[in-house]
Structure 1
């Protein structure tokens, strides 16, 4: 198995084989919580226009969206896991657009298969990859808005790669250290779009034992669904 770590939107475009698209702060952390709270499916979109059009077509869907970290007008929620804590989403279909994570999903057109990842389900993703046993794996750390490197996404990529190589890094200590680095924005009162309560939810390593797979619905639209690991 050949495992390569790539970064940013350009990395997603170059990804081949089984591709893992990572966004820790906060897109794919949020999606894990949405699925854990009962969501049935999530439609990832690249543009605000596409997301809002889908919302108009299906007003019963819940729309989650951010630009610059802040909730976008016309969306039900932003990109914050703490904002939806305790919300019963049983059977709900969601729409999701973000500056980085969903851009990677949309951009990974050369991949054989795409799953998403964050620290909260990284070990599950590694187990899924091992079970699939692909010849090539591309792990894409999406970074800040898909254009500059982000320590939390690179950490998640390194962790998954280390698990696949049988020599796991000490991810919990490195994740905790993000509080004074890449995660400092969650503790800045001047940045309310990044609530402090999101940080512990984002760095709760290996909380979930499922993966989020990207597929297509009957009309060919990209859709994310939960896949539970067995054994």
Structure 2
């Protein structure tokens, strides 16, 4: 397995056609997706474009849908929920399809939506994603960070490093870290692995969330390593279900 890590979706070259991709937006989209599906959401349908989201949502029964999303870390006007993993509780999301758009994470998903095996990864479902990848043994894995508006994000690299660390630990003979970004992410995780929440808080986006208000519960949730067995998996373009 050749492992590439890209800080942002734009950094992934058009010439690369990986057999699997794991998208990361640890603060907070991929954490929220994992928890929503764990708590019984029927699916999470991701959109980079808000007009596309509203068109698709309008075709879905109102009683069976929720609009979920943010821009700049704050809930979108008229949406049911923002982008908090602690808000997608069973009594709200069970049986519902979540139509989701975020500043960064849904754009990353859109970039790799044609990859044969597309998963989303976060710290809480890291081990479950590793086991799924180990089962499928893709020839090439692209780990795609969401970044922040096209630039590097510390927290996504931390989560990428956590994924790489466990993949190599599970079977070092099958894994080759192909680019320097993957090696750097691994080193970052090795530095912060005993206190990932502090890394999330120190990151630029972590600081942004702190300025917006009290997000202590979100930080704890997003840093809770290997908590979930849910692997959000794309079955049809843009639609993620627990598989």
TM-score range, shorter chain: 0.7 to 0.9
In 2, Cα distance between the equivalents of 1:23 and 1:6? 12
User: How much has 1:116 moved relative to structure 2?
Assistant: 0.6
Structure 1 position 152 matched with structure 2 position 194: no
Q: Name the residue aligned to 1:164.
A: 167
In 1, Cα distance between equivalents of 2:13 and 2:129: 20
Moved more, 12-21 or 136-145: 12-21
Q: Alpha-carbon deviation of 1:56?
A: 2.2
Question: 1:11 & 1:215 partners in 2: Cα distance?
Answer: 25
* RMSD of Structure 2 on Structure 1 (CA): 2.1
Cα shift readout 1:184-230 (whole Å, capped 9, x = no counterpart): 33433xx13x73321101111111012110121xxxx5210001xxx
Post-superposition shift, 1:174?
A: 4.2
Structure 1 position 124, deviation (Å): 1.0
Aligned to 1:3: 3
Aligned to 1:211: 231
CA distance in 2, matches of 1:207, 1:172: 15
Report the CA distance between 1:86 and its aligned residue: 5.5
> For this pair of structures, how many residues does the alignment match?
219
Aligned to 2:29: 27
Correspondence for 2:73: 69
Could you tell me how far 1:180 is from its partner in structure 2? Answer: 4.4
Worse-matched range after superposition: 121-130 or 83-92: 83-92
1:137 aligns with 2:141: yes
Partner of 2:210: 187
| Deviation, structure 1 residue 79 | 0.6
User: How many angstroms apart in 2 are the aligned matches of 1:71 and 1:88?
Assistant: 16
**TM-score when normalising by structure 2:** 0.82
Residue 20 (structure 1) shift: 0.5
Structure 2: unaligned runs, 5 residues or longer: 171-185
User: As a proportion of its length, which structure holds more helix?
Assistant: 2
Task: Describe the shift of the 1:180–1:210 C-alpha distance in structure 2 as closer, same or farther (beyond 3 A).
Answer: closer
Identify the range of structure 1 (17-26 vs 179-188) with the bigger mean alpha-carbon deviation.
Answer: 179-188
The two structures have a TM-score, normalised by structure 1, of 0.86
Offset from partner CA, 1:130-176 (integer Å, 9 cap, x none): 0001111111111113x111111101111111111117855642413
Instruction: Return the structure number with greater strand share.
Output: 1
Q: Using the alignment, how far apart are the partners of 2:50 and 2:116 within structure 1?
A: 26
Partner residue in 1 for 2:108:
104
- C-alpha spacing 1:129/1:10, structure 2 compared with 1 (3 Å): same
Q: Does 1:197 align with 2:217?
A: yes
The whole-number CA distance in structure 1 between the counterparts of 2:38 and 2:161 is: 25
Structure 1: gaps spanning 5 or more residues: none
Distance in 2 (alpha carbons) for counterparts of 1:180 and 1:30: 17
